């Protein structure tokens, strides 16, 4: 392993043991990949039409746009 990479890993791990940090990163990465795989399969199975995609995009935009109430947080 290159020394610069090892130093970056140690820095990222912070107070945690390096092995634990590496384990957490790998678990997170594998979980993300599995969720992406499941989402892709769901999308293929459902096969949404253009109107459903438009509604989903509008809903996503509405749910992820901060409101004025959120601005004070």
Going by pLDDT thresholds of 50, 70 and 90, the confidence category of residue 71 is low
Is 7 strand, coil or helix?
helix
Phi, psi of 42 (to 5 degrees): -60, -45
Residue 33 has pLDDT above 90, yes or no: no
**Alpha carbons 64 and 6: distance in angstroms, whole number:** 37
Q: What torsion do the CA atoms of 6, 8, 10, 12 make, to the nearest 10 degrees?
A: -150
- Buried b / exposed e across 4-15, counting CB within 10 Å, b at 16+? eeeeeeeeebee
**What would the mean pLDDT of 44-66 be, rounded to a whole number?**
89
Length of the chain, please?
73
Report if pTM > 0.85: no
Which residue would you say has higher pLDDT here, 50 or 68? 50
| Average model confidence (pLDDT) across the chain | 86
Where in the chain are the domains?
Answer: 3-64
Higher pLDDT, 73 or 28: 28
């Amino acid at each position: 392993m290159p020394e610069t990479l090892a130093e970056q890993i140690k820095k990222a791990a912070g107070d945690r043991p390096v092995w634990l940090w590496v384990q957490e990163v790998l678990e997170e990465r594998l979980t993300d990949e599995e969720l992406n795989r499941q989402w892709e399969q769901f999308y293929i199975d459902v096969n949404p039409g253009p109107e459903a995609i438009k509604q989903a995009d509008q809903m996503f935009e509405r749910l992820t746009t901060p409101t004025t109430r959120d601005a004070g947080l």
